[in-house]
Structure 1
Amino acid sequence: MRPILLQGHERPLTQIRFNKEGDLLFSCSKDHTINVWFSDNGERLGTYDGHNGTIWTVDVDSKSEILISGSADNTMRLWEVRTGKCLYTWEFPTAVKRVAWSEDDKQLVCITEQRMGYQGAVRIFTINRENPTQQSEEPDAMFHPIASKATVCAFASPSLIVTGHESGKVALYDWQTGEEVAVNERAHSMVVTDLQLSPDRTYFITSSKDKVARVHDSRTLDVLKTFATETPLNSAALSSQKPYVLIGGGQEAMSVTTTSLRQGKFETRFWHLVFEEEIGRVKGHFGPINTLAVLPSGKGFASGGEDGFVRMHHYDESYFRAKPYGDLEVDL
């Protein structure tokens, strides 16, 4: 499985996302630019220029028409995917750390950082798709998560937002009222670094600096599966078609200069979703893996690292034939 190396960023990657069809890959990094690539051959299609700070987060709607991004320049921007034109800009008091679309593409949620006397906030906007350059400056709803600041978020359902927090807790909020509907205070013991939903949004996976990734039920927040490693984790993704979980991380970036590749554990690790056992590793990055994304078709995945590279992997035929647990078939 030879990866395609995508060289278009000068600084560490922060997030990568595939569109719903899986033919486009969007990547953002600390170098102030968003790139879009063809996933099948790694050709760069274009860039989205306009932010003046680290771009922490990016998400694309299900029709691949509108892109949303959040940055350390305290803005959230709406982009036209096809032309790269910035359609609208929201300004906030602090950096935007996470953005996500709702399932029907009508709304988006964003998290702004707790800093300089401002509380961390979760805001929900309804997007005017008929005239994208005319958006409401004020959110439909805004609430401040209780006790610990939120670091990641997603729409668990049309009315519920699931959040991961700095304290390690995972919570479910009714965004219209701001009420905390459910909470798991001990989901993790350290900051939650990533949260990715299953295709049907009935469960989700989180990764954390406590070296553990966990799968949770979207309604009850019960922990369904646990994957424990020996390095801090920055990202976790659920494979489609196969019952696998992908996790990535590695020793902290500041310690990398004193660490060999083998000790640093800069690998994408595959675990079996049901049996919670590791079944393989993919090497390649020269620093911690910051973000992972799986092709919707289940035929490959991409990883973005501290080294500034995106590695696009397409699975060999042997991956689909492999049966690590005999003829046991798992219905996803």
Structure 2
Amino acid sequence: MRPILLQGHERSLTQIKFNAEGDLLFSCSKDHVINVWFTHNGERLGTYNGNNGTVWTVDVDPESRFMMSGAADNTLRLWSVQTGKNLFTWEFPTAVKRVAFNDDGTQVVCITEQRMGHQCAIRVFQINRDGDGTDQSTDPLYFFNPIGSKATVCAFTNVPNVIFTGHESGKVALFNVKSGEEVNNNERAHGEVVTDLQLSKDRTYCITSSKDKSARIHDTKTLQVIKTFSTETPLNSASFMPNRPYVLLGGGQEAMKVTTTSLRQGKFETRFWHKVFEEEIGRVKGHFGPINTIAVHPAGTCYASGGEDGFVRVHHFDDSYFKAKPYGDLDIDD
């Protein structure tokens, strides 16, 4: 399984994302740049320039027509995937830390940072898909401040107007975006800050990673913890593997502590765990620093990891991976 090394960033990666078909991979980093790559060969298709700060987050709609980015220059930007043009920019008092489209690409939710007297805020914008996309409303459809611990990650669930959030204190919650009220929460989902949140294909369950060295699968309706994967290193990202009973976890010791640790002690591997048995089944090495973000191809044919070292590594699975029968003779489709 030889990785394709994507060298398009000068600083550490913050998030990577496949589009719905899986033929494109979007990457953003602290160097103010968003890149898009062809998945099959790692060729760079283009660059989205215009941000004046760290790009923290990126998401692409189901039709691969629009892409959203959130950055430390306090902007949320709408881009044309095809032309690379910045179609619209929303400005806020603080940095945008997370963006996510809903399942049909008509709405986007974003989290802005708690800084300089401003509270953490969650806003939902209606995306006008008519015309060329430049005619957008500057006002949010819904706006509220989550009470208590600030939100770090968010995503739409399969229930209309309900979003799933992860927080700095380690709690996960469900919010009704119309009223801004907390519908449900689990205060003890994690012991420390929730670093990543990725949904299953049907949005009925999700996986969160945390600095408390664990990743957990939650039911998105009841917030019940279904599975727990405990490691000995802080985790920055976690993802599901479609059509296979695996989850992928990535992390590693903090960058500032890494100078005192060797590569092996830093634990900079992508770790494969069995989704049902909660056992580690394999590791893939390669990065020279903590893994900050992991994304899996929607068809499960490959995965990509982005690290503190500024590299994105795309791993296409070998034939032996597809010939293995984790369910015995059963063929299970997600």
TM range (shorter): over 0.9
Contact 1:243-1:330 at 8 Å conserved across structures:
no
Shift of 1:159: 1.4
CA distance in 1, matches of 2:285, 2:94: 36
SS at match of 2:89: strand
Secondary structure of the corresponding residue to residue 259 of structure 2: helix
2:37/2:45 contact within 8 Å kept: yes
1:1-332 matches, cutoff 5 A: 1-131=1-131, 132-157=133-158, 158-323=160-325, 332=334
The alpha carbon displacement at 1:322 in A equals: 2.4
Query: After superposition, what is the alpha-carbon deviation per residue over 1:135-179, rounded to whole angstroms, capped at 9, x for unaligned?
Result: 111101111112100000000133111000000000001111111
What does the per-residue CA deviation read over 1:33-83, in whole Å, with 9 as the maximum and x for residues that have no partner?
A: 000000000000000000000000000000000000000000000000000
| Residue identity matched to 2:17 | R
Per-residue deviation, 1:239: 0.6
- Residues 161-218 of structure 1: CA distance to partner in whole angstroms, max 9, x if unpaired? 1000000000001111111111000000100000000000000000000000000001
The number of residues matched between the two structures is 332
Structure 1 CA distance, aligned partners of 2:281 and 2:331? 16
Contact 2:245 / 2:326 at 8 angstroms: preserved in 1? no
Distance in 2 of aligned mates of 1:144 and 1:318: 49
How many angstroms does 1:325 deviate by? 7.1
Q: Aligned to 1:308, what secondary structure does the other structure show? A: coil
SS at match of 1:136: coil
The one-letter code sitting in structure 2 at the alignment partner of 1:73 is: D
- Cα drift, residue 258 of structure 1: 1.2
- Aligned-residue RMSD, C-alpha: 1.1
1:279/1:324 contact within 8 Å kept:
no
Q: Which amino acid aligns with 2:61?
A: D
C-alpha distance in 2 between matches for 1:331 and 1:215: 19
Cα distance change on mapping 1:284 and 1:181 into 2, 3 Å: same
Would you say the 8 A contact 2:171–2:190 is kept in 1?
yes
Q: CA deviation at 1:319?
A: 0.9
Structure 2 runs not aligned, ≥5 long:
none
Unaligned runs of 5+ in 1: none
SS of match in other structure, 1:100: strand
**Separation in 2, partners of 1:325, 1:220:** 28
Q: 1:323, CA displacement in angstroms? A: 3.9
Amino acid at match of 2:94: T
Judge conservation of contact 2:74–2:93 (CA < 8 Å) in 1: yes
Identity of aligned residues (%): 73
Q: Secondary structure at the match of 2:157?
A: strand
Normalising by structure 2, we get a TM-score of 0.98
